[in-house]
Amino acid sequence: MASELYRPVGDLMRKVARDVVMPRFRNLRAEDISEKAANDFVTVADKESEERLAEGLAKLLPEAGMIGEEACAADPAILARAGEGLNWIIDPIDGTGNYAAGKSPFALMIALADGGSTLAGWIYDPVLDRMCHATLGAGAMIDDERIMAKESDGPLPVAALAVSFVPPEEREQITRNAAGRFDIVAIPRCAGEQYPRIALGANDVSIFSRTLPWDHAAGTLFLNEAGGRSARMDGSDYRIGDPGFGLLGASSPRMWDFARAILYA
């Protein structure tokens, strides 16, 4: 089922990006942007994108529920059902802060989950016209090309550490432990860009603190199916509906073990 949906879901995402997201890129008015919380932005494009995506996905798989970021913002009870049954998980624009500021990266992300397991995931960057896709047990693709994750080739592993939501004491420990052991680079503020960076060898390691399903269901599956590793800090799998905190992504299982031992020593 999931593999058969690869092209129709991808076509839907491209259409919504073309008709809704890109026409408003760098064309938003001040009244088109609001804050759900401090530094957590939403735009009219996010809301319309989610509506259009949900409408199209319902036609493709009517029996699946909808777990959308903006729907959950309006009704948190929806998120509580995220790990129950068959659901589409929608991030209408990942990296909204970038998008609202008129810069990239940003992405549209969709996952199909059954209970706690992600069956398939799509990450579409409309600026690059790049589709990252994975199906559980069937590997990862960028556009129509199968890919395998690779480590960077620099003298130190490259790490992008999103620790702003980590408790201060733990954040200081991670930063201290990373010094001199990793080449620390800026985070893209877009999970839909960070996961491809790891798979493509631009980054080796990334820490994510908040792990909401629309941010990580598609990316975790994509990275793992590409041969990298994304898992909870204790090594357990990321599962939809799990209330856990924190994810560590790496370009290989070996790199994951290395980063876990160094950053959390």
What is the per-residue pLDDT across 88-138, written as a single tens digit (0 to 9) for each? 999 999 999 999 999 999 999 999 999 999 999 999 999 999 999 999 999
What is the model's pLDDT at position 119? 97
Alpha-carbon Rg of the chain, whole angstroms?
17
Distance of alpha carbon 116 from alpha carbon 121, whole angstroms:
14
pTM check: above 0.75:
yes
Question: Looking at the domain 158-263, which fold is it?
Answer: D-Maltodextrin-Binding Protein; domain 2 (3.40.190)
Name the percent of the chain lying above pLDDT 90. 89
Identify which of 59, 77, 121 has the alpha carbon closest to the alpha carbon of residue 67: 77
Check whether 145 is labelled as a binding-site residue: no
Token pair in block for residue 216: 């990580």
Question: Helix crossing, 168-178 with 253-263: angle to 10°?
Answer: 120
Distance of alpha carbon 112 from alpha carbon 66, whole angstroms:
10
Token pair in block for residue 263: 């950053």
Provide the pLDDT confidence category of residue 169 given band limits of 50, 70 and 90: confident
Confidence check: pLDDT of 155 > 90: yes
Confidence check: pLDDT of 139 > 80: yes
Token pair in block for residue 158: 């490259």
Three-state SS string over 83-152 comes to CCCEEEEEEEEECHHHHHCCCCCCEEEEEEEECCEEEEEEEEECCCCEEEEEECCCEEEECCEEECCCCC
List where CATH 3.40.190.80 sits in the chain: 158-263
Query: Can you tell me the mean pLDDT for 171-190?
Result: 95
Confidence check: pLDDT of 247 > 80: yes
Query: Can you tell me the mean pLDDT for 173-199?
Result: 96
3-state secondary structure of 258: helix
Query: 8-42 pLDDT, tens per residue?
Result: 999 999 999 999 999 999 999 999 999 887 778 99
Average of per-residue pLDDT values in the chain? 95
Q: Give the rounded distance of the alpha carbon of 23 from its chain centre.
A: 23
Confidence check: pLDDT of 203 > 70: yes
Check whether 94 is labelled as a binding-site residue: yes
What is the model's pLDDT at position 243? 79
List where CATH 3.30.540.10 sits in the chain: 3-147
Check whether 91 is labelled as a binding-site residue: yes
Q: How far is CA 80 from CA 53, 74, 113, 115, in A?
A: 21, 13, 14, 12
What is the model's pLDDT at position 167? 85
Question: Looking at the domain 3-147, which fold is it?
Answer: Fructose-1,6-Bisphosphatase; Chain A, domain 1 (3.30.540)
Check whether 32 is labelled as a binding-site residue: no
Beta bridge partners of 220: none
Provide the pLDDT confidence category of residue 265 given band limits of 50, 70 and 90: confident
Contact (Cβ atoms closer than 8 angstroms) between residue 79 and residue 89: no
What is the model's pLDDT at position 50? 98
Check whether 69 is labelled as a binding-site residue: yes
